[in-house]
Chain A
Amino acid sequence: MKLNGDDVRAIAYEARLSLTNAELEGAVSYINNFLEMAGRFKELDLKNVEPFRFAESRECPLREDKPEPFAQAPDILAARCAADAGAFFKVPRIMEE
C-alpha cells in the first residue's frame, strides 16, 4: 500500500508537525520506500518467534526502588522554556482547544 500526500499530512498532524511542500514530498517518498522495504516481513513465519530482548537485561543490576535527592532539580527548572512559573513547567491553556 502506498501513502499519498493527504495521508502523510494527516499523520504529520498527529505528530504535531506541519510540513512545507518540499518536506511533504520528501516524507511521502521516505515512508513509501520504507513500507516497500518493511513489506519483506510478510515472507517470514513469525508466529512462534519471541520479540527481541538482550539476554543481559535479566542480569542488569537493579537498585532499590526508593526516592533519592536529585541535586540538579533547580538547574533543570532554570533551563526550562518558560522560566517564570515558580516550581512548575508552564504550558499554554488547554481549555481553549
Chain B
Amino acid sequence: MQNDEEEPDARIFSVDSRFEKLARRPGGVPREEAIERAHEMIEELKPGFSQWLDRELSELGELIRQGEAHDYDAAWSDAAYQQCHRIRDVGTTMGFDLVTFVANNLCEIFATISSGGEYRADLVDCHIQALLFARQERYRNLQPEQLPELSSGLRRVIEYVPKEHAPK
C-alpha cells in the first residue's frame, strides 16, 4: 500500500472524536488506581479461570482425537490452532505465563501442520501433558525462565516437527 505522501489527491482533515473529547475530561480514574482496580477484578475472575481452562483443554483434547478422521488436514489443524490460541491469549493475563508459553508452542506446531507439516502425536501429546502440568495453582506467577528444563525442552521439541509430510 502506498504512503500518503505519494498520493496527489490526499484529503487531510481533523476528526475531533467523541472518544478523544470525553476521555480527556477531568474526573477519570487515575492510571495507577485504574490498573490496581483492574488487577483486583482479574483476581476475582481467577476462580472461574480453572473451570474455563478445563473446558478449553477438554475441547482441545476432543479435537485432537478427531484429527485422524480428518487426516490431520489444514481445516482440522486450523481449528486446533484457534482452540489453542484462545488458551494462549488468556493465560498470562490470569497469572499463568507458563500456560501461555506452552499453548504458544502448541500453536506453532498446529501452524506448521496447517502449512503442510506432518502431524506427530508424540510432540502434541507432550505439550498437552505440559499444559496439564502448567495449569496447576502452584505454577501461577511462575515465568517459563524459572522452569528452564521444561521451557527449553519444549522449544527443542518444536524443532522436531516435520515441515513436510513424509512420502507414503
Q: Determine if chain A interacts with chain B.
A: no
Residues of A near any B CB (own CB < 8 A) = none
